[in-house]
Chains A and B, each alone.
Chain A
């Protein structure tokens, strides 16, 4: 390991800590605000006296709008999207990676081409398709359009192609069918890739706003980000409670990140997934 002079180390840590403080300060300050009483919100103090923590904001926020329900809605919607997307795209990816069928290259190219199309192009027709199915203001209206993306298929196909074919050949000799090979050999070997895709799909679905905002309006069905905008428009200056609501939406995703960060960092570097 290289030896650095002390002044060099000092300069490095100074820059990094300043940067780190700038990244954390907004989150820290809103957390503090969420634990103050409404009267203290404007006192300009940065530190919180530990004996006076004001949990009331969190209780109030749950009374004003059903944040517990929002939390469960977000969890259910994000989990459904994740399961559906990982499962259907792994099936399709297996076909693209391993099976020969007419039109394979062309279909795959169409998949790839749609990756470039921004979501705004599809929302208007999509809205009427969802309406036709009677899914406006219902969970399937949020889940299904987000559950079949080309990106998952593309990433898993790339991963499946790196698995050596010899591993499957033995199973074929034993008389296994395609589905058995997919289920018993390919999927278990791809667990890290499936998990990475799953975590990303989950965090993105958890934070997604545009489409749920268009489809959902019944208060009982809202996801956390959509519910949060309802709180923000109805209680625009109620800062302590707004910050409590923001914390409820933020903390689960941060927790998932901190737990799985090694996985996530590696996944981003490999795939560029955001």
Chain B
């Protein structure tokens, strides 16, 4: 009895120490403490925070983050809001912006002076009912990474303009002894059709996916022809059903090892490929017809939002933090440390030489398109996951592109 009591006593003591240790760091010395919740790691953000704190000695940033994966960030953000624990400044993913505004946790930034610097595409993506709720300063685009040495084997030095020419090139590569000319990761199958849909949408008043989301069109009507074009890869024998079992990293490793000729990629891979010591560059993603304006999958990156519930000194601090992030100094730091491409009016970024073609084609022009943005907000991520599941079945030959799009329509119905 006695020993049990003393043991429990010891346990309680340890627990108290634990809770004391947890309470150890309270805010100090009259500085305004600004909490910041980001979707990237602290070592990457620290130089940006250091520079800001140096300029604003009376503000201290309390950084927090969550696991790298995008879905994980969204889940954590949502959970924290449900418990009333939202940070003062946070990264607002476009998929969630509607919900954030609906729940009154994103401050209206429309009239802030720093918003003048933001590019129109990025602004449009953060706008709901005419008001801008987040400050997105960077943008991303897909591009084809290609191995110059392997392409040279078949007599090519860059990615051709049209899809049919591209498939011919892959055939030529295969004949030239390149076993794997082209691979897509299982959770990125058919990504390039978004470029095609983007171009066709640019000729209409409402994007094709918006029409599907609003019920004016269906996947069966709009998507089938694109998926049929994509499925030519399998008919031509230049990509096999093994892609249904390949994760992103595996495709990247194949390319880095110099065995793969072409893969869908982006600016984030530049350093990985450079370190791998291969002779590579980033090129266009082919369009369906000659003369089509080049489009690629892409969009504005998640923007920075201010918690609508803060005021006074904290609000001032939050505004000066956003002002700093969109200043030339901040943007340069963001590009150098986070590897994102600034897309604002006040700053022209230096782009790595291997990436100039896609930068000029897509980001400078704003010719990027993301299908999910047109879909109903609840269930976007589930529907996107479903497109990959359906295309995997097309790749396996168990269903046709027409069946895949019909299944997507069914799924959409269950989600709304």
Q: Do A and B assemble together? A: no
The residues of A with any CB-CB pair to B shorter than 8 Å are: none
